[in-house]
């Protein structure tokens, strides 16, 4: 078992370090922290609280990971932060653990990317392969599905759900739930179509994308209430997994309203 720990860093008694961990200059690792195999702290990284960092994750200078949640109701109760394997956490990123009111844990999925100054607040649930670009801000209790992409300077309101494979444009303010595969733009953000670029990059076949387009038009430009249109889409596309994922998201509901197109725009996006 090989570890490289710079002599200027502090690793407190009780911290658990896996094999091949590298800790660069002037880092601080708290007594409850757990670092998986191959984790690398480049320099000036601060890990606090009951924080688990997955194998082969890399964390860059001045990231503050696992410090107490920014919630005035927090009173020191035990809370956790769990970061998955092979994540990339760049400079000045902050990630907070959960709170008692949100299940006491913040979860970050594997192979996700967090660019400079991104913030993951208490009780967030981040899926696999998510990208948060520079200065993205997630408020408490936000859920982000697998492979979603959130562009620079965007912000998500507390309790917002952002579906899998969704795309949020730069500087967008997301206050309503964004469907899987959807694209949100503007402040306040509105639904501006489907994330076709992301779908193609992830290898979705042409037929699946075509059916998603048809389902999108039925959902947001058809007749009847949204509940009725969801039922119609569920019946019209019983074998389309991606469409059914949107249906399940809408039926599950959440604490926020659904992000919809504004003034009839977004039909052809």
| Residues acting as catalytic residues | 122-123, 140
End-to-end, the C-alpha distance of the chain in Å comes to 53
Cis peptide before 188 (omega within 30 of 0): yes
CA 73 to chain centre: 23
Dihedral sign of CA atoms 110, 52, 153, 245 in order: positive
Query: Would you say 142 and 124 are in contact if contact means Cβ atoms under 8 Å apart?
Result: yes
CA 173 to chain centre: 15
Rounded distance between C-alpha atoms, residue 105 and residue 15, angstroms: 19
């Amino acid at each position: 078992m090989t570890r490289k720990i710079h002599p200027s860093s502090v690793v407190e008694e009780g911290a658990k370090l896996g094999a091949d961990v590298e800790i660069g200059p002037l880092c601080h690792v708290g007594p409850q922290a757990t670092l998986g195999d191959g984790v690398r702290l480049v320099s000036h990284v601060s890990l606090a609280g009951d924080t688990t960092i997955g194998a082969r994750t890399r964390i860059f200078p001045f990231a503050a990971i696992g410090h107490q949640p920014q919630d005035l109701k927090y009173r020191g109760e035990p809370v956790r932060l769990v970061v998955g394997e092979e994540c990339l956490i760049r400079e000045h990123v902050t990630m907070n653990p959960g709170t008692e009111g949100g299940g006491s844990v913040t979860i970050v999925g594997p192979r996700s990317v967090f660019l400079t100054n991104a913030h993951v607040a208490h009780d967030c649930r981040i899926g696999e392969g998510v990208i948060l670009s520079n200065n993205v801000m997630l408020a408490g209790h936000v859920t982000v599905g697998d492979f979603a992409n959130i562009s620079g300077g965007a912000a998500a309101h507390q309790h917002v759900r952002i579906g899998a494979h969704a795309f949020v444009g730069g500087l967008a303010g997301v206050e309503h739930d964004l469907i899987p595969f959807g694209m949100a733009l503007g402040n306040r953000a509105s639904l501006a179509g489907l994330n076709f670029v992301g779908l193609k990059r992830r290898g979705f076949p042409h037929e699946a994308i075509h059916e998603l387009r048809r389902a999108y038009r039925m959902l947001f430009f058809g007749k009847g209430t949204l509940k009725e249109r969801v039922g119609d889409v569920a019946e019209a596309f019983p074998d389309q997994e991606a469409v059914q994922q949107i249906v399940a998201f809408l039926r599950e509901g959440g604490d926020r309203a659904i992000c919809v197109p504004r003034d009839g725009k977004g039909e052809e996006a």
